[in-house]
Structure 1
Amino acid sequence: MVLFTFNIVDVEAEAKKGASITVEERLAVTENNSRAILRILDIHDVKASFFIEVSIAEKLPHLIKAISSKGHEIAFYHTDSSLQKIEETKKWIEDVLEKQIKGIRQKDHKLPHEELKMLGFGYVSNIDHADILFPFKRLKRDTEIVEENGLSIVPESISPYSQLPYNDFVFQVVPMKYYKNMVFETLKKDDFVLIYLSSWQFTDFSKYRFDVPFYRKWNSGKKIEDKLDKLLCWINDNEMATARMKDYIF
């Protein structure tokens, strides 16, 4: 099973010297990037899970409704919000969509599983920090879903023969032929492969004056749209099953 997931987050980079980018402009970039992802998924009839960053979720009601109406899962991406803020945002989205939010993803700031369970979450999908060197460190970790304090803990997937994780940066820099081999080999060993990308990667950095390192701009924007399109074509051509996270777990 291939689990496609997307972190919906604002571009964190500052504006280049002499330029300015407002909060509203950042939000517009995030929404446009997310709708580009939706279009590609719709073309290939693939359902995915969208992890919306908690602090911007209530500012994107139309986008969240569009994602849900296409049959995709809405979940949360927690960076540094308080438990109260997560609870309030969760209730607001559930009222808007009339659907339960089951998943939450964390990276740098991780909340106790007991508290997440009390808020009504059913699974946690934690991810590691990824920079220019991290994706190429050889890693060893458990790749099976486990139950802990009533929550399903979903680990990041790792290619068994290269030991590369399936994080956003690896997808951006690894050649497609090699990436396909990673997916194929992982599915021969594991029950699922969890792939995640981030909405900021779909930004046209020639249009928006964000001060980002060259390795973050490389293969971004339209190039990463095309890369995602090619991967989905290959998955459908090879009749690989895909699913939303909550469907696979529960």
Structure 2
Amino acid sequence: MILLSFDIEEFDMPFEYGKDIAFADQIAISRAGTIAILDLLDKHQVKATFFCTVTFAENIPDLINRITETGHELASHGYYHSDFKPEHLLQSKLKLEELSGKEITGYRMARMMPVDEQEIEKAGYTYNTSINPTYLPGRYNNFNISRTFFTKENVLQIPASVSPLVRFPLFWLSFHNLPLSIYKFLVSWTYKKDRYLNVYFHPWEFTDLDDFERFGFPAYVRKNTGVKMVERMDNLISWMKSKNYPFGTFQNFIETITAK
């Protein structure tokens, strides 16, 4: 199963590069990108999971309705994107359930940072997908963690997909920077080995990020954003469908693995 997921959040990433961005602009940019994603998913009639912060959800009630009413899954990405306290785990779950009218069963920590699994269980989540089981200098050092799903503290852990053997990450930055043919080869290899694929993206990738003075992003972040990102994702989904890979939400995936 293809687990497409999108971390929809207030667009605060420019702060990491020493740039200021108004809150209204953070919401507007992520809103535009979320609409582009939903339009693509509608076009291809595939379902995905949206990990949303409460801060963003409160500012896009119409899109929260669109996500849930069109059969996508809403999950928690925390209360705020750049602030975390353990109590936010339960608070974000309850608030997103209030805003959406849907049960929230999954969690992904902002920036895929570590999170206490006991706290995840106490907050009532079924699954956690906050692990990138690879090595990236200054960000992740997770070669000791399973590449594929496992259970810890009674919570199902579903790491982001990395290739077999060398554990090359298949997340958003790889998608931007690799030739599409190579990315597809890695996807095929990983899917054949694991029988599922868990890859994640963000709404702001689907907007134009080329203004270095405004955002401060290096070339490897800016590459293939905006219209190019929409075209590449359109191509990827079309190719996956041509391979007869099934798409589903994390909740769909959990149903299939627990039924075995």
Q: How does 1:175-214 map to 2 (within 5 A)?
A: 175-206=179-210, 209-214=214-219
- Whether the aligned pair in 1 keeps the contact of 2:134 and 2:168 (CA below 8 Å) is no
Q: Report the more deviating stretch, 85-94 or 191-200.
A: 85-94
The answer to which of 40-49 and 199-208 deviates more is: 199-208
2:59 partner letter: K
Alignment partners' CA distance in 1, 2:44 and 2:169: 24
CA distance in 1, matches of 2:163, 2:72: 26
Which one is further off, 126-135 or 86-95?
Answer: 126-135
Distance in 2 between residues matched to 1:4 and 1:248, nearest whole Å:
11
CA distance in 2, matches of 1:249, 1:153: 11
Q: Give ranges in structure 1 of 5+ residues lacking alignment.
A: none
CA deviation profile, 1:182-214 (whole Å, cap 9, x unmatched): 111112211211111122211212479322212
**Match runs of 1:75-94 below 5 Å:** 75-78=75-78, 79=81, 80-94=83-97
Structure number with the higher helix fraction is 2
Distance in 1 separating the partners of 2:118 and 2:15: 36
- State the shift of 1:160 in Å: 2.0
Q: CA deviation at 1:121?
A: 0.6
SS at match of 1:58: helix
Q: Secondary structure at 1:4's aligned position in 2?
A: strand
- For 1:177, the aligned partner's letter is S
Tell me how far apart the structure 1 counterparts of residues 134 and 35 of structure 2 sit (CA, whole Å). Answer: 24
Aligned match of 2:220:
215
* Contact 1:202 1:222 survives alignment (8 Å): yes
Shift, 1:6, TM fit: 0.8
Residue 111 in 1 paired to residue 115 in 2?
yes
Q: Secondary structure in 2 aligned to 1:181? A: helix
Contact 2:134–2:142 (8 Å) recurs in 1: no
**1:210-231 CA distance string (max 9 Å, x none):** 2221221111111111100000
What amino acid sits opposite 1:12 in the alignment? M
2:249 to 231, 244, 248: 244
Cα 1:186–1:15 change in 2 (3 A) is closer
Distance 1:95 1:219 in 2: 36
Mark the runs of 5 or more structure 2 residues left unpaired by the alignment.
Answer: 256-260
Given that 1:127 and 1:156 are in contact with CA atoms closer than 8 Å, whether structure 2 keeps it comes out as: yes
**2:133, 2:146 within 8 Å by CA — same for their partners in 1?**
no
> Structure 1-normalised TM-score?
0.87
Partner of residue 50, structure 1:
50
Pick closer, same or farther for the CA change 1:138–1:15 going to 2, 3 Å.
closer
SS in 1 for 2:5: strand
Quote how far apart the aligned CAs of 1:11 are: 4.1
Deviation of the 1:92 alpha carbon = 2.3
Query: What TM-score results when the alignment is normalised by the length of structure 2?
Result: 0.84
- d(CA) in 1 for partners of 2:222, 2:74: 27
Aligned pair count reads 248
Partners of 2:222 and 2:172 lie apart in 1 by: 13
Is the counterpart of residue 65 in structure 1 residue 41 in structure 2?
no
Contact 1:172–1:220 (CA under 8 A) maintained in structure 2: yes
- Most deviating of 36-45 and 210-219: 210-219
| Cα distance per residue 1:4-36 (max 9 Å; x no partner) | 11111314114999x964211111110110110
Contact 2:31–2:60 (8 Å) recurs in 1: yes
Note if 1:96 corresponds to 2:92: no
Select which of 213, 228, 231 maps to 2:233: 228
Corresponding residue for residue 146 of structure 1: 150
What secondary structure is seen at the aligned counterpart in 2 of 1:160?
A: coil
Report the RMSD for the aligned CA atoms in angstroms: 2.9
The 10-residue stretch of structure 1 (126-135 or 3-12) with the greater mean CA deviation from structure 2: 126-135
Give 1:12's aligned residue. 13
